[in-house]
Structure 1
């Protein structure tokens, strides 16, 4: 009897510890992947262009997630000249849509409509827990359907950064025929891989078994296992043209992950590489970054 009680107490303790780790890793505003981006000097003119874009009138959109009914918000910016192409921008971990204003102005000034979304547990959208790209990928499909309902003839381009890049990759096999092209910037190979990388580099823990345990808690509390957000597996089934973008000095999502992602799947793909840090390639190499984007988007035209 004493042994049974001891085992039960031990299991309860493990469960409580895993819950603590889960909350740290997935709660709104988590700093698990680093919360203080480096202060990078931007190329001349980018700040002014971004400030001008922010001033442009935007309409607020709202939907409910089909995954868990959380309320989601987005902001639509009409292009300067009438067009039937919209770029949906998907932000990264523990930030909101405004973190990609600098990228939004790039696409806006290239002549596209812009839809900037707040993921679950970010910005104005509701939700307690982030989904490392999995929940967000399901919500992104809802946003694509919403855009198609409002603008039936619209062509759609997806752009995602970091966790947003994982989101667009995870979405890719499910939106053939609805999406024209995908651009991912600084994406990771899988949730398990990125958490293992940070566990080892930040805390010197080889945490695969720990991550498997937290994954179980994630399924119970957030509705998904970490194995469901495997970008490499998703890309094996993708048919949509994709541009891979990454900085070689990225220590948040290592460049080695980009090299693995680029080898996956049989679809049209291009790659752009800079000397930038995480999601900052455009800041320091804006001319070549824009050229890479324009070249890629002209492929299907």
Structure 2
């Protein structure tokens, strides 16, 4: 029988965790195990140099926001693009995945900053420099996103806002949809980009059980439910189904991204999300790109390095993923 005990030191030492251990680690993760202050950038000298240039030219403004739900302090940055063009009054929010910090998605930040967009990113609750608290797989995180949107719109008055989320960040963005019509600041949100998230948390976990263990599914799911309730207070897992929230944003186009080789969250989740989203659109504006050979977190890494990219019609694209994404944004923000 497969050993699914969690070794939390794997997180600290950046050793890969297999799928089931990773789901369990998501429930027990604590911010104190995560490096704070830009250590992720040391792995990528080009990005570290770019970051240092932004700091030198005073393009980065740190901010803190208190969450309305439980008064936690979230820490983030407003980053002004060094490139002057028509995108300078547009802001893209970047939300990272579980066990990451905002620095982990610097490749995405670099792409958008170089295209002229200003960037907002922050450490999710229980991550990086933000306060420790249970990770709730998008439920409370979606409200945290709203708090940051309110702060940024009040202070910077952007013309348009784009929301990009990876994995947990993407679930947060999709589940934020329920709040869209409840806050005037959300009128600025014109587009969402969802990268590699689950359609339904429990089903994604069940998929991993089927593929990676001989333990009976019902036994493992019951443990999973009890652990979630104990750590997050969430007893009704139907709230952790991002797919059911898409009906709240019928007029906001969504771009869905996923690696076809993702063995943590299958790309079929993104296919489900895309097809659910377009049910509410007339005409259809949302789009999907699946990146060949890309694992979890590698959409842009491989998508910008020559692999084949498939759209929702299974047509092949050879352009870099960043080019396809920026082109799509331009088309939607006219």
Q: TM-score if structure 2 supplies the norm length?
A: 0.73
Pick closer, same or farther for the CA change 1:260–1:205 going to 2, 3 Å: farther
Change (3 A) 1:61 1:251: same
Among residues 175, 183, 202, which one is paired with 2:180 in the alignment? 175
2:117 is matched with: 112
Residue in structure 2 matched with residue 134 of structure 1 by the alignment: 139
- Among 72, 75, 98, the residue aligned to 1:73: 75
Check if 1:84 corresponds to 2:89: yes
What is the correspondence of 1:156-195 to structure 2 with a 5 Å cutoff? 156-175=161-180, 177-195=187-205
Q: Could you say if the C-alpha distance between residues 285 and 139 of structure 1 is closer, same or farther in structure 2, counting changes exceeding 3 Å?
A: same
Unaligned 5+ segments in structure 2 are 1-22, 35-42, 182-186, 305-318
Distance change >3 Å, CA 231–CA 60, structure 1 → 2: same
Q: CA deviation at 1:63?
A: 1.0
* Alignment counterpart, residue 290 of structure 2, candidates 269, 273, 278: 273
My pick for the range that moved more, 223-232 or 259-268, is: 223-232
- Pairing 1:221-240 to 2, within 5 Å after superposition: 221-225=231-235, 226-239=237-250, 240=252
Distance 2:299 2:110 in 1: 15
Q: Deviations over 1:71-128 (max 9, x none)?
A: 1111111112372211110001111111101111111111111111100111011123
> Aligned residue for 2:322?
290
Residue of structure 1 in register with 2:333 after alignment: 300
CA gap of 1:115–1:134, structure 2 versus 1, over 3 A, is same
Measure, in 2, the Cα distance between the counterparts of 1:205 and 1:228: 26
For 1:135 and 1:197, how far apart are their aligned partners in 2?
25
Displacement of 1:219: 4.3
- Displacement after TM superposition at 1:23 (Å): 7.5
Aligned equivalent of 1:8? none
> Structure 1 CA distance, aligned partners of 2:30 and 2:202?
20
Calculate the TM-score normalised by the size of structure 1. 0.80
Deviation, 1:135, is 1.6
Structure 1's unaligned 5+ residue stretches are: 1-21, 36-45
How many pairs align? 267
* Residue pair 2:267, 2:290 contacting (<8 A) in 1 also: no
Residue in 2 that maps onto 1:27 = 28
**Which contiguous aligned blocks of 4+ residues in structure 1 show a shift greater than 6 angstroms?**
none
Q: Which has the higher contact order (CA 8 A, sep 6+)?
A: 1
SS in 2 for 1:126: coil
**Matching residue of 2:47:** 50
Residue 96 of structure 1 corresponds to 101
